[in-house]
């Protein structure tokens, strides 16, 4: 029976653990802190260290990341085969294909994504995040400086107009949907809701890896960005 080591972003822990529990395979899990994609060099460092620390008793190491701001570019398979979903970020895992992600992105370029894992971190744009950030600035810098810092920080909100919620349909998720609706209303954004597709996550944990959806790296290879529809490819170290 295959035994896999899953190393993934914490925003996907719920979905990965659920479908792993339904799989016949055996798993070890290691979830890294959410938000590492904001500092790609740190993401690469922590992910590579986690891969290197994994024992050689695994059939493969399954990577629960997308390209993620190029944070996985340069990651090396040294002792054990690596398997990576071809996707720009974790939303591809939840929508079921990179093609569906691209189609939605092209039709709704100003989209900010909301998912159970992202909402659990408390970092999604909305009234709660605004108030928490504002208070932390007041405590550190005073009222006047806090107002200025918030105006500067919130400028990027203008680049977005659509809050899209997606999940894979298990568990009780109505409170996540309601939270996203409240955030969209507070921000003045449109609210949209997409039914997720577990196909990629199920295939990942079941060991059903086709070359269209997955990149498989053998020991002695590294990940590079392909800048095409495949998103990533392998090259020799």
pLDDT at 205 over 90: yes
pLDDT of residue 134: 62
Residue 23 near residue 66 (C-beta atoms within 8 A): no
Q: What is this structure's pTM?
A: 0.91
**What's the CA gap between 209 and 4, in Å, rounded?**
13
Q: What is the pLDDT of residues 85-124, one digit of tens each?
A: 999 999 999 999 999 999 999 999 999 999 999 999 877 8
- Between the CA atoms of 117, 35, 144 and 161, what dihedral angle is there, to the nearest 10 degrees? -60
For every residue of 60-88, DSSP letters joined together read EEEEE---TTTTTTT-EESSS-EEEE-SS
For the stretch 16-46, pLDDT in tens is 999 999 999 999 999 999 888 889 899 999 9
Q: Is the predicted pLDDT of residue 131 greater than 90, yes or no?
A: no
Question: Pick the residue with more confidence: 141 or 80?
Answer: 80
- State the Cα–Cα distance between residues 161 and 110, nearest whole angstrom: 5
């Amino acid at each position: 029976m295959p035994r896999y080591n899953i190393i993934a972003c914490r925003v996907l822990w719920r979905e990965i653990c659920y479908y792993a529990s339904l799989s016949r395979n055996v798993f070890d899990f290691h979830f890294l802190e959410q938000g590492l994609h904001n500092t790609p060099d740190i993401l690469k460092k922590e992910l590579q260290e986690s891969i290197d620390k994994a024992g050689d008793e695994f059939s493969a190491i399954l990577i629960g990341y997308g390209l993620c701001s190029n944070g996985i570019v340069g990651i090396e398979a040294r002792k054990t085969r690596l398997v990576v979903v071809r996707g720009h970020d974790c939303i591809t895992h939840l929508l079921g294909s990179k093609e569906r992600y691209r189609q939605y992105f092209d039709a709704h370029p100003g989209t900010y994504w909301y998912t159970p894992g992202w909402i659990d971190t408390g970092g999604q744009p909305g009234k709660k995040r605004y108030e928490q950030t504002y208070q932390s600035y007041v405590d550190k810098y005073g009222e006047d400086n806090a107002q200025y810092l918030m105006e500067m920080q919130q400028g990027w909100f203008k680049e977005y107009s659509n809050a899209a919620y997606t999940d894979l349909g298990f568990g009780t998720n109505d409170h996540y949907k309601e939270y996203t609706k409240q955030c969209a209303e507070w921000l003045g954004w449109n609210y949209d809701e997409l039914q997720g597709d577990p196909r990629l996550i199920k295939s990942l944990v079941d060991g059903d890896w086709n070359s269209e959806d997955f990149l498989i790296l053998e020991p002695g290879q590294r990940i590079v960005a392909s800048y095409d529809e495949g998103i990533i490819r392998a090259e020799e170290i």
